[in-house]
A and B are shown apart, each in its own frame.
Chain A
């Protein structure tokens, strides 16, 4: 079966750095997405990786290793507004998205 694993919850301190991991087993691979979802709101797109390596976008970076079935989202200089759930999703060989359950990130002052 297809599976996306990410930690259920993480806690970090304002101003610090946090890394949210995602491992996947899917039927084929056509890209990996990270979305941010604040409580009670819709998910919003953060990043897309299809090739191995690191993609940097401001305070957020996303890394992919296809051979290891592994990705991480790195958040730097954490702000209170970064408190949210972070969803990892993989596009399989049928171009359907398989979603992880999300990682709830709690930022403490």
Chain B
């Protein structure tokens, strides 16, 4: 049972480059989320999707875009990376009534 898989686990890229973080889940969960986690701050929601074909903006959406073509995949794209986007990115999904989140292992992104 894979749960949620993120790729890459770690990446260093130059400012201005385009980058897509991949997220795939096999739990048939409807809702999926992208968070970033920075030292001293709580998890901050970037974008979310309540169901395939729909997406919404979270707390910190600027500079990021997402798509949800099907239930399983929810990629996050940085169109033109900037150093302030250096962070650990977590993809998560939920399908239960309690709202329990299942997280991927995270993608550590460094923008130089």
Contact = CB atoms under 8 A, between A and B. Distances in A.
B53 interface: no
A90 to B, nearest CB: 11
Interface residues of B, number: 17
Interface band, chain A: 20 to 34
B77 to A, nearest CB: 21
Contact of B104 (A4, A30, A42, A99): A42
Contacts of B42: 4, 87, 89, 98-102
Nearest to B41: A101
A97 B101 contact: yes
B101 to A, nearest CB: 7
A42 B103 contact: yes
A33 B99 CA distance: 9
Contacts of B100: 33, 45, 48
Contacts of B104: 42
B93 to A, nearest CB: 12
Nearest to A41: B105
Interface of B: 40-45, 58, 90, 98-106
19 contacts: A30-B99, A31-B98, A31-B99, A33-B100, A41-B105, A42-B103, A43-B43, A43-B90, A43-B101, A43-B103, A45-B100, A45-B101, A45-B102, A48-B99, A48-B100, A89-B43, A97-B43, A101-B42, A102-B42
